[in-house]
Chains A and B, each alone.
Chain A
Amino acid sequence: MKQLWLTAKLDIVESLRARWFQIYTLVFGGIVALLFLFGLTESRVLGFIGLSRLLVTYIQLTMAILPIFVLITTVRSVAGDREAGVFEYLLSLPVSLGAWFWGKILGRYVVIFAPVFAAMLGAVIWALISGIEVPWGMFGYYTALLAAMAACFLGIGMLISALARTTDMAQGAAFMVWLSLLLFLDLILLGVMIQGKVAPEVAVSIALANPLQVFRTAALALFDPQLIVLGPSAYVILDAFGAFGYQVFALIYPTVLGVVSAAIGYQIFRRGDLP
C-alpha cells in the first residue's frame, strides 16, 4: 500500500509540473469564468436560470472536451515516459507492478478530476457569495457524473497506453477511439437506422454502450426527465431503466467500463516488456 501511495504522489507531482496540466486547468477554469462573464446565470433555457443554467452548459462543454483531453494527455505522458526511459529507471526500483500501475492511475485520477471539480465548486462558491440559489442535487449528480467520466476515459487511456509501444501509435489510437465514440454518438447510428437495417432497440443499445452518449443522455435527463429532445429513443431508454434507474446506470456503467479497461491494461502491462 505504501508503494501505491508513493507512486500516486509521484505521478501527481510530475503532472502538476507538466504543461498539459496547466492548459487543462486553464481550460476548465476559463470555461466557468467565461460563463459567468457572459451572464449565463441571467439567461433562461427550458425554464433553467441561475446556476442550474450555468451547470448544464458547463457539463455539456466538459463532455465535449474532457474525454479527448484525458485520452490524449494520458497516452502521451504514459507512452512518452516509457519512450524517454522514465520507466526503465523508476521500474528498476523495488516497486511492485501492481502498485506502480494502480498508483499511477490513482495519481492521475486526482489530477484530472480536481480541476474540473474545482471549476464547478468555484462556480458554486461564487453563487453563494452572490446570493444565487445553488441547485445542490444537480451539483451533486454532476459531480458524480464528472467522476465517472474521468474514471471511464482514464481507464481507456491506460489500456491504450499498455497496448501501444510508441507515443505516436498511442496518440493515434486514442484519437481513433474518441472519433469512433463521437461518430457512434449520432451520425452512424442515424444512418443505420434510416437504412432500416437494424431494429431501433439495437441502435439504442449500441448508443447506450457508448459512454459519450450515456453522459450526454444523463445530463439531459436531469433537466428533461422525459427525454423529449431525444425523440422515440427516449421510450426505449425509459422503458428499460426508468428515469432514476438511468441516472444510476449513467454513473455505474462508465465507471465499470473504465475499471475493466484499466484492469485489462494492467494485465497486458505486467505480462509484457515494461520499458
Chain B
Amino acid sequence: MIRFDKLGKTFRRHRVLDDVNLEIALGERVALIGSNGAGKTTLIRCLLGEYTHDGLVTIDGRSPRTERTLVLGSIGFVPQLPPPLKMPVGQLIDFAASLCGTDPQRMFDLAKRLGLDVDSILQRPFVKLSGGMKQKLLIAVALGRDAKVLVLDEPAANLDPEARKIFFELLAERAESATMLISSHRLNEVSTLVNRVIELDMGKVVLDDRVADDVSLAGLLACRISVKRTEPAFAKAMTSWNFTDLGGGMEWQGDVAGPDRLRFLGMTSRYVSLISQLSMTETAAEKVGTEKVGAGKTAA
C-alpha cells in the first residue's frame, strides 16, 4: 500500500535519507523510531508530499506530490509540535472538514470523546489552547475522517492517561481499516501500539522487524496498588491516572490502558520503595482469562 523505493533526500550536500526501500501493507501498525536527525520527520514529509526527493514514494500507486488532493485526502496526520495557528478552533475544524469532504460533527464528536469540551473553546484561537487540548484536537481532525493511512508523530506525548486510553481505543477501531505510521524517539513509548518496528539511523533503515501483536489496543488492566505510607507526590500521580483511593491514601485502584502499561510501570518505578503490593489483571473483553503482568503480584 505504502511504498518507498530508493527514497533519498539531500539538504545542502547532507544526505538525510539514503536509499530507503520499504513496503507497508494495509493494517500494519509501524513504529518509526530513531534518534534526533535519524530522518523520521523527513521520511514523513516525503510521505505527505511536502519534500522533493530522489526515488519513489507512492500510496496505492499514487504519488502524494503530484496527486496531492487525492492522496492526502486519505491520510490523517498528527504532528509532533502543534502549529501556532491563530484561527479559532471552530474554523480549524470547518477548514479541515471542508477540505477532507467530511462532516465536521465527526471531528467534534471525537474531540468530545477524548475529553475536550469543544463547545466552550470554539471561538478560542488554537494557539491559546494548552498542549493537551491542541493534541486532542489534532487527533480528532486526523481521525474524524475516512483516512486509510494515519501518520502520527509522537501522538500521545501530551495526553493525560484517560485521554490516552480513549486514543488507544480509537486506534483499535481503525486497526483493520487503516495503516498506521507512528513516529517516536523511543521504542518503549509506542512498542505496545505496533506490530512492526522500523528504525532509522543516519537516514538508513537499520532495523525492520515484526513484533508480537499480543497487546490489544483496546485492552484494559485492572490495577491495585498498596503503599507502606501516605505520600502526597504518589497520591497526586495516582489521581492523574484516575485511580481511586480505597483508604487514606494507602491503597489505590484503577484501570490502565493495555498499551499504556509500560508508561504506567515507568511511573510506579519512581515510588518503588513506597509500594508494598502491586497487581495488574487484564480485563479486556476480547482477552479471555486473567493474566499477571511481570511477576504478577509483586511484593516490594
Q: Kindly list chain A residues whose C-beta atoms are within 8 Å of the C-beta of B88.
A: 13
Q: Is the CB of B81 within 8 A of A92?
A: no
Restricting to B42-88, which residues have a CB under 8 Å from any CB of A? 45, 48-52, 68-73, 75, 77, 79, 81-88
Q: Is the CB of A86 within 8 A of B50?
A: no
Q: Kindly supply a per-residue 1/0 record for chain A positions 71-92, scoring 1 wherever the CB is within 8 Å of any chain B CB and 0 otherwise.
A: 0000000000000111111111
Q: Is the CB of B96 within 8 A of A14?
A: no
Q: Kindly list chain A residues whose C-beta atoms are within 8 Å of the C-beta of B84.
A: 84-86
Q: Kindly list chain A residues whose C-beta atoms are within 8 Å of the C-beta of B48.
A: 91-92
Known: A271-B52, A273-B52. A17 touches B86 (CB 8 A): yes
Candidates A2, A85, A96, A272; contact of B98 at CB < 8 Å: A2
B41 and chain A: residue at smallest CB distance: A88
B249 within 8 A of A: no
A10 within 8 A of B: yes
Q: Kindly list chain B residues whose C-beta atoms are within 8 Å of the C-beta of A96.
A: 68-69
B285 within 8 A of A: no
In Å, the complex CA distance between A90 and B125 comes to 16
Q: Is the CB of A89 within 8 A of B86?
A: no
Q: Kindly list chain A residues whose C-beta atoms are within 8 Å of the C-beta of B125.
A: 17
Candidates B77, B95, B151; contact of A6 at CB < 8 Å: B95
Chain B's nearest CB lies how many Å from the CB of A144? Answer: 32
- DSSP majority for the B interface? mixed
B156 within 8 A of A: no
Candidates A6, A17, A88, A95; contact of B50 at CB < 8 Å: A88
A183 within 8 A of B: no
Q: Kindly list chain A residues whose C-beta atoms are within 8 Å of the C-beta of B71.
A: 94
Q: Is the CB of A14 within 8 A of B69?
A: no
Count residues on chain A whose CB falls below 8 Å from chain B CBs. 27
Known: A88-B45, A88-B79, A275-B45. A95 touches B52 (CB 8 A): no
Q: Kindly list chain A residues whose C-beta atoms are within 8 Å of the C-beta of B91.
A: 10, 13
With a 10 A CB-CB cut-off, give which of B98, B99, B138, B151 has the most chain A CB atoms.
Answer: B99
In Å, the complex CA distance between A106 and B87 comes to 17
Count residues on chain B whose CB falls below 8 Å from chain A CBs. 32
Chain B's nearest CB lies how many Å from the CB of A32? Answer: 27
Q: Is the CB of A94 within 8 A of B69?
A: yes
Restricting to A192-245, which residues have a CB under 8 Å from any CB of B? none
A3 within 8 A of B: yes
Number of A-B contacts defined by CB within 8 Å:
83
Q: Kindly list chain A residues whose C-beta atoms are within 8 Å of the C-beta of B70.
A: 94
In Å, the complex CA distance between A87 and B85 comes to 10
Candidates A84, A87, A94; contact of B100 at CB < 8 Å: A94
B73 and chain A: residue at smallest CB distance: A94
Q: Is the CB of B72 within 8 A of A14?
A: no
Restricting to A89-107, which residues have a CB under 8 Å from any CB of B? 89-97
A118 within 8 A of B: no
Known: A91-B50, A273-B50, A274-B51. A14 touches B98 (CB 8 A): no
Chain B's nearest CB lies how many Å from the CB of A24? Answer: 15
Q: Is the CB of B79 within 8 A of A94?
A: no
Known: A92-B75, A92-B77, A94-B99. A86 touches B69 (CB 8 A): no
In Å, the complex CA distance between A93 and B99 comes to 7
Q: Is the CB of B100 within 8 A of A10?
A: no
Q: Kindly list chain B residues whose C-beta atoms are within 8 Å of the C-beta of A84.
A: 83-84
A18 within 8 A of B: yes
Chain B's nearest CB lies how many Å from the CB of A217? Answer: 39
With a 10 A CB-CB cut-off, give which of B69, B85, B86 has the most chain A CB atoms.
Answer: B85
In Å, the complex CA distance between A89 and B45 comes to 10
Q: Kindly list chain B residues whose C-beta atoms are within 8 Å of the C-beta of A86.
A: 83-85
A2 and chain B: residue at smallest CB distance: B98
Candidates B68, B87, B98, B100; contact of A97 at CB < 8 Å: B68
Chain B's nearest CB lies how many Å from the CB of A106? Answer: 15
Restricting to B109-161, which residues have a CB under 8 Å from any CB of A? 125, 138, 151
Q: Is the CB of A275 within 8 A of B98?
A: no
- 7 tightest Cβ-Cβ pairs between the two chains A and B: A94-B72, A94-B73, A92-B77, A89-B83, A17-B86, A274-B50, A94-B69
Residues of A within 8 A of B (CB): 2-3, 6, 10, 13-14, 17-18, 84-97, 271-275
Residues of B within 8 A of A (CB): 45, 48-52, 68-73, 75, 77, 79, 81-88, 91, 95-96, 98-100, 125, 138, 151
List 12 additional A-B contacts (Cβ < 8 Å) besides A90-B83, A93-B99, A95-B99: A6-B98, A10-B95, A13-B87, A17-B87, A84-B84, A85-B81, A86-B83, A87-B50, A92-B79, A92-B151, A95-B69, A96-B69
A-B contact pairs, 17 of them (CB 8 A): A2-B98, A10-B87, A13-B87, A14-B85, A84-B83, A84-B84, A85-B81, A92-B50, A92-B77, A92-B79, A93-B72, A93-B99, A93-B100, A94-B68, A94-B70, A94-B72, A96-B68
